[in-house]
Amino acid sequence: MNAGISGQALLAAKAEGRAALVGYLPVGYPSVAGSLDAFRAICGDGDHPGVDLVEIGLPYSDPILDGPVIQRAGTRALERGLRVRDVFTAVEAVREAGKPAVVMTYWNLVDRYGAEAFARDLANAGGAGLITPDLIPDEGADWLAASEACGLDRIFLVAPSSTDERIRSTTAVCRGWVYATSVMGVTGTRSSAPSAAPELVARLRRLAPESLVGVGLGVSNGDQAATVGQYADAVIVGSAMVKTLLAAEDAGTPEDLTELRHVVADLAAGVRR
């Protein structure tokens, strides 16, 4: 597998003897400007390492794979006037903060924007690639061509239910890394590290040994990140970060990113154990 731009972040972490930390936040929540501040916060600074790779969520009106936390934030972002083009502003902000960025969204939004136009604008903004949770390679000819033309990473998903044939065919067309969904269900924090993840990653190592693997769905704290980081190349965290933004807004202080920074610090320490 070609490591691409986003895969380089995973390889850099691997060179340090650890897994990479991938942090997800939706653009547009609590506002577009507020989300840019949140993205900058999780990128860290000279005293705080932050995440290694930022996953920018582009909210969609029918988020079938998102859990209640991410759905709540995404719905509010859409109600407040979020537009597709705002995701490119978020990508630029992350790149200016010194970290690579990938976008995660549902295929209908990209299709309506135009695959070639989306790839062009994402590349021009400095984006590394796209995660497409509801698009399988068999139906992704337009995106395969557009991403190839613009040199973008394409990150597809595999699940515990994926057949060996599906894993081989999916990883064959991924560029950057492959997203291993460690549970059957929607996103959300869980009390323990996902139990199906080690077996799924082991299958990926056997069937696609050149692939870099990120594990997502369920990780919420540094202890779980440390556990997942023992066998995965990247630990992906979303709901645990988004929850802090929702809590801040509920408390009447949407600009307060203190708890978000605490969560990221805990997770960053976890992958470094």
Active site residues: 55, 66
Q: Are 178 and 216 in contact (CB under 8 A)?
A: no
Q: Write down the residue that tokens 């929540």 correspond to.
A: 29
Instruction: Measure the CA–CA gap between 117 and 45, rounded to whole angstroms.
Output: 33
> What count of other Cβ atoms lies within 10 Å of the Cβ of residue 251?
10
Burial class (CB in 10 A: 0-12, 13-18, 19+), 256: middle
Could you identify the residue written with the tokens 């023992």? 230
Residue 241 CA, chain-centre distance (Å), reads: 12
- Residue located via tokens 């399988």: 136
Buried residues in 11-30 as b, exposed as e (16+ CB within 10 A): eebeeeebbbbbbbbbbbbb
182 exposure class (CB count in 10 Å sphere: 0-12, 13-18, 19+): buried
SS (HEC) of 127-154 = CCEEECCCCCHHHCHHHHHHHHHHCCEE
**Inter-residue contact 224 to 195 (CB < 8 Å):** no
Which two structure tokens, joined as six digits, stand for 124? Answer: 């021009």
Contacts of residue 78, Cβ cutoff 8 Å, sequence gap at least 6? 28, 59, 61
